[in-house]
Each structure stands twice: as C-alpha cells, then as structure tokens.
Amino acid sequence: MPAAPVTSSPNLRRLGIAAVAVVSTIALAACQAPAPEASGEPVSGGTLVYASGDAEPTCLDPHVGGNYPQALLAGQFLESLVSRDETGEIIPWLAESWTASDDGLSWEFTLRDDVAFTDGTPLDAEAVKVNVEHLKDPATQSSTGYLALGKVDHVEVVDDLVARFVMSAPDSALLESLTQPWNAIQSPAGIARGMDENCQAPIGTGPFIVDEWVKQDHVSLVRNDDYTSPPADAAHEGPAYLEAIDWRFVPDSASRYAALQAGQVDVIDNPQPDTISAAKSNDALVWLDAPRPGAANRIELNSGQAPFDDERVREAFIRAVEVDEGIDTLFFGTAERSYSPLSSVESVAYSDEKLFAPDLDRANELLDEAGWSERDADGYRVRDGARLTLRFPVSTNQSIPAEQSLFEQVQATAKAAGFEVVIELLDLSGWYGALAAHEYEIVSAPYTKVGPDVLRILYHSDSITPAPSGYFANLSQLNDPGVDALLAEAASTSDPEARAASYNEAQRLILGGYYLLPLYDQQNSFLMSTSVQGARALPTVSTPTFYDSWLAG
C-alpha cells in the first residue's frame, strides 16, 4: 500500500516541500553561480533573442534521442511532473504530491487539476500513461529518457488525476529522473500525430509554444497566454512576461559574441573561456555559470577492445597524459580540474587525485610489461607489427575550441609514452556513427542526468546494450559484477547514507580500474545583456528558463 503522502495540498506547492527517498545534492547551491539578481519591476512584452552554439536538434521532441540541445529548447515549452530547487530537493510541478509504497515497487503521483496542454487537451493520468509508453516504445528511438525510466514497468490510471508508476525493481532515483526535460509531459494528441509532425512542434503545458521552426536558422516561440503551471520555485504565477523568444542557431562562437556585443541578441550559450573572461569586465554583460549535474567531463577508455582491455595499458595512458596546465591556460579560470566521475554539484562525488598524477616513467614500465616494448621510427609503440594507435572521435558540436585544443595537448603528451592519438573532428551525426561502430579507443562523451544515478547509466554492464536510439551510454565498456552490484544496491535503498556508501564504493572501483580520465565539470555558461532580468538556470539539468524573465529598458 502507498505510504502517507510527502506533499499533500496545492497550498503547499510554493513551500517547496521535498520528497523522501532522495539524496539531496546540497552542494548544488555552493558550486553553481547564483542567477543574476533581478532589479526593477517586471515589464510585459518584447521578444528575447537567444543565440545557441549547440547543435541544432534534428527533432524538438526530447523523447526522441534525448540530447542537451533538445533540453535547452524543450525547457521553454514542456514541463515535468516534478522539479528540483537550489538545495537539490524535489519540489512539485505538474504533480502536486506523490507517494511511494513501502517496498518501492509503486509510486502514485497526484496531478494538479488546473492544467491543460496548449492544444486544449487536459493534463490527466491518462496523459502521463501515454507519455511513459511513448518513451518506452522502441519506435520512439529514445535514449536519455528511456534509460532514466528503465525500471518503470508501466503506468496505471488510478483516477483522472492519479497516475501509478509500477516498477520492475525499486528505483531510488525515480524522482530525480522525472525532473529531466527528456521525460517531460506532452499532449497525447500531439504524440498521436506521429513522429514527424511531433518532432516539428511538440505540444506541452509550458509558458511558451512552438510557433515555427525554420531549420538551420531559428525556432520561434510565442507566449502561452493561458499558462497556469509554474514550478514551485518560480518567482511569479500566470503567463510569462516575454511575448516571444527568437531562438537562433549560430554555430560560430565569435559570431555569437559579436552579435551579443552589438545588441543583436540578448543571450548566448557556449561562450569561449577567453570570452567569458573578457565579459567579466564588461558592465553591459552578465555571466551565468551553471555546471551540469551528473557526470563530469571526462575521457572514457574503451576497455571492450584492444589495447584498453589490458588495465596496464589503461593506466599507462592516464599516467602519460598531462591536462592540468592545459585546463589552466585554455579555460582562463572558468574550469577546475576534476578527479571524480561525478560533477562537483553531486554531494556524493568521490575523488582520488593520486590516481591521475602524471608519471611518464611508470607509463613506460607498464607498456613494457604489457608487451608494447618496441618503438617505430616515429617514436610510437608497436607490437606484432601493429602501432599503439588510439582513435579519438571528437564532436565539434559538443566540444568548444578550447576543449579541442586541450585534446591536442592530450595527443602530444601521450606521444611521449608511445601512444599515437588520432583525433577526428566530426559533426554530431558522424560522431554518433563512430561510437555505434565501436570505432574509438578514447572518447569524450558528455552525459547529463540529475543525481548520482548517472553512474548506473554510464558504468553498469546493462548500458553496454544500446538503447532504442542506437546509443549505448557505457562507452568505457565497463563490465564489472562488483560495480553492477553496488549500483543495484544504491538504486534499491531509500536510506541516504547507504545509498551514498554504495555510490562511493562504485566510484572507487571505477577510478581504480583506470576506465576514465576526469577533466572538469561539464561547462554550461551563458552570457547575457544586463537588459535581461529574471533569467536563471533550472536546478535540474541547468538549462535556462525565461519564464520569469523580462527585458528592461
């Protein structure tokens, strides 16, 4: 039977009452720069112009695939059952309360009774059921949402406003997963139109509506004048202040910054670190720093094939490369070196700096032991006539130029130990293709998920099997029963201390096996004109929200 509700009444919505069975990521507020403080009275009207350097989505429905560019946009017009506040606590959104059974095998969500999708369809339990079925349907080709809801067996309609999630196993991360835009709730009528039409303009309950998508140029969003459902930590109620958002795709970082300086756009994302440094001294600009939760930026080593199926070779690579100086010089103080698989915003992040101390002598010893004792005329290690070559596909849509320069330093320092690192710059489609074909030995693959459950997505052996989208998240190909067992234990307990202990031990094993080289938190920066007031990053996956924003002056 369900336990007593942890939130109960619409009157409590703005109090931010949190759900139990969640390890609060209390480091979030400490590590994420605060949103710029708004000044003056809100002004209604106007069009905010946003210039994005992220890859243009191929589909605006975040259920399909599930990458970060989709989340950036979807957060303006789709909403989730629950959200998260600045302390990391789960708060109401489309669901005003929720309960979990004592065995963790069912959760009941009570929905708000005053919400409708922008096509007029009411938000009800049947809509939630349709959305979960859509996410879990292989034909949807979901990845991020599908993996996050892997333990949801099905949803039952208890009554019009109560949806019951029936679990195949307990999942202590369910509420964290449901905060994410890749699991946001869409109109069932919109989904029923089919993938092509729904990709063009998903229908949500959010403060804005997709009006037009001109591919390779922009998405036009217009205000939802009937909006009623802000999350519990929003600064106001009712419709958004802005009349519209013009969301432009501007791949070149210099062009984005020039447009911001010229007043042609109001907000840009993915600025270069030197640009951020310069902007700090510009009184007309504001920097919003919003590190993403989940995993740190890191280089994964593919242990599923040679040469990294040998732990000695993995450790040798990590001991050979040097990244500290590159991070210091290339990122202008905007990134701090990480020694953990998890982002610094995760309170259970475990670090072990000594594992990553450069030691060229030790790297050479390990490679000799592993049989890579000879070198060719170019200085690269060879064995049985084959060179010690590491293919490194890099997504130009996901790695800013500063990061690409850092990878070149990895390439140069690894050569001293005899590794040949071959960097291939690819667009997002080509990058996904290289991973699907296992044409990589090392790869930098950003992955965002609320909470430490991201470790299950990235390092449990189940994640070696591709999701319906074709993407598999366990790019290190780690297959360790001990890690699997610890991640299963963490998912099955609602005890915060036991959960943290399991995650810490899992991280110790992952780092100790030299399956990854941590770099720094996933960079998530926005520069905006001081005329933009009330903008903030949602404390879920750090995407910007402009619901509370207005244009001053």
315-342 per-residue burial string, b: 16 or more CB within 10 A, e: under 16: bbbbbbbebeebbeebbbebbebbbbbb
CA angle 198, 201, 202 (to 5 degrees): 60
Asked if 434 and 455 touch (Cβ cutoff 8 Å), the reply is no
Residue 123 shares a structural domain with residue 150: yes
Residue 172 shares a structural domain with residue 251: yes
Asked if 480 and 513 touch (Cβ cutoff 8 Å), the reply is yes
Which residues span the domain enclosing 409? 297-520
Residue 183 shares a structural domain with residue 311: no
pLDDT attached to residue 282: 93
113-132 per-residue burial string, b: 16 or more CB within 10 A, e: under 16: eebbbbeebebbbebbbbbb
pLDDT attached to residue 422: 98
Residue 237 shares a structural domain with residue 146: yes
pLDDT digits over 311-362, tens only? 999 999 999 999 999 999 999 999 999 999 999 999 999 999 999 999 999 9
Residue 476 shares a structural domain with residue 489: yes
When divided into structural domains, the chain yields a total of 2
Q: Is residue 16 part of a domain?
A: no
Q: Is residue 63 part of a domain?
A: yes
pLDDT at position 31 over 50: no
Identify the band that residue 69 occupies on the pLDDT scale cut at 50, 70 and 90. Answer: very high
Q: Is residue 15 part of a domain?
A: no
pLDDT attached to residue 322: 97
| Region of poorest pLDDT, from 21-25, 93-97, 455-459 | 21-25
CA atoms within 13 A on the CB side of 182: 25
Q: Is residue 26 part of a domain?
A: no
Residue 87 shares a structural domain with residue 134: yes
pLDDT at position 14 over 50: no
Q: What DSSP character marks residue 79?
A: B
Residue 393 shares a structural domain with residue 344: yes
Residue 418 shares a structural domain with residue 508: yes
- How many residues does the structure list for the chain? 553
Q: Is residue 9 part of a domain?
A: no
Token reading at 37: 């403080």
Distances in whole angstroms, Cα of residue 84 to Cα of each of 180, 349, 455: 10, 19, 20
What is the CATH classification number for the domain harbouring 536?
A: 3.40.190.10
Residue 319 shares a structural domain with residue 261: no
Longest dimension (CA), the chain: 74
pLDDT attached to residue 1: 35
Q: Is residue 56 part of a domain?
A: yes
Q: Match 């710029």 to its residue by tokens.
A: 36
Q: Is residue 4 part of a domain?
A: no
What is the CATH classification number for the domain harbouring 368?
A: 3.10.105.10
Higher pLDDT, 40 or 514: 514
pLDDT attached to residue 540: 96
pLDDT at position 387 over 80: yes
484-522 per-residue burial string, b: 16 or more CB within 10 A, e: under 16: bebbbbbbbbeebeebbbbbebbbeebbebbbbbbbbbb
pLDDT attached to residue 23: 32
| Region of poorest pLDDT, from 17-31, 177-191, 245-259, 487-501 | 17-31
Q: With the C-alpha atoms ordered 189, 195, 197, 202, is the resulting torsion angle positive or negative? A: positive
Pairing state between β 386-387 and 536-537: unpaired
pLDDT at position 12 over 50: no
Residue 310 shares a structural domain with residue 265: no
pLDDT digits over 396-450, tens only? 988 999 999 999 999 999 999 999 999 999 998 999 999 999 999 999 988 999 9
pLDDT attached to residue 230: 98
Residue 255 shares a structural domain with residue 370: no
Residue 185 shares a structural domain with residue 330: no
pTM as predicted: 0.90
